[in-house]
Amino acid sequence: MAEVRDRRRVRPETNGSGVDKPRRSERREAREAPATHETLMDKVLRTRQQIQDKRSTYFTPKEGQNRVRILPSWRKGKDQDFYVELPTHRNIGPGNQWATCLQFWGEPCPICRAIERLSTSQAARDQNAASKMMPEERYLVNVGVPNSEEGQVKPWSISPTWFYEILGFFADPEYGDFTNPREGYDYIFTREGTGLKTRYTNKRFARNPSPVKIPDCKKKLINLDTFPRRYTRQELQAFLRGEDLND
């Protein structure tokens, strides 16, 4: 009997399919094994990808024709806004940085204070700098790019003038709620040129309604209330001095 017990004690564990399980000591060693060392090249490539991911977070219209779907609200409940009004400072300091005004979060903004100070200056250069940094209202919406099974959901920042045109279709009885996921309309426009010469033409909604085709679109909606990057007052002051936060 002792011999039988010894044989049972050394019998290998199986997973029920006849395949041997690794022993407890082997499983413990596997858990405690050190992680693979990340080389400097790995870190550089990972950081580069992270930067690229941040750059590609916002929807940037391509040159030529663009067709997107403005999506409904990410908030729960009926009749919720599908957009956020976002006060944005541009041309901040020597580096011409962009940043969301801290007043969006109900906080004092050092850029606004700098504008007030520069506006009272007698120097034309200071007044010009203040004028360029004045907050501009941007409107943030979720868009499907494109409206297909391969489409992605991204935030799109739109100028007040352009967004005013878009909202005009909402009151048009031929279109109505163009964000409706089943009976809404794709939005079509053309981008021409680059940089300061960029123009957007042929802006219109599609003639016929269509459903949103992006799988699990509702789950992919971005919370635009919390999406904008919130720079600290120290970071905004660094922008005014011309300091790069990446240095």
pLDDT tens figures, 82-141:
999 999 999 999 999 999 999 999 999 999 999 999 999 999 999 999 999 999 999 999
Range of the domain at 182: 61-241
Contacts 24+ apart (CB under 8 A), 158-163: 160/136, 162/200, 162/203, 163/83, 163/139
Number of domains present in the structure of the chain: 1
Domain for residue 28, yes or no?
no
CATH number at residue 219: 3.90.198.10
Domain for residue 35, yes or no?
no
Domain for residue 45, yes or no?
no
Tell whether pTM > 0.75: no
Domain for residue 16, yes or no?
no
Domain for residue 11, yes or no?
no
Q: Using one digit for the tens of pLDDT, what is the confidence trace for 125-180? A: 999 999 999 999 999 999 999 999 999 999 999 999 999 999 999 999 999 999 99
Q: Where are the alpha helices (DSSP H) in the chain?
A: 2-9, 24-32, 40-55, 110-119, 124-133, 160-170, 217-220, 233-241
| Residues 6+ away with beta carbon under 8 Å from 147 | 67, 68, 69, 186, 210, 212, 213, 214
Domain for residue 147, yes or no?
yes
User: Are 127 and 119 contacting, i.e. CB atoms less than 8 angstroms apart?
Assistant: yes
Q: Find where tokens 């391969």 sit.
A: 150
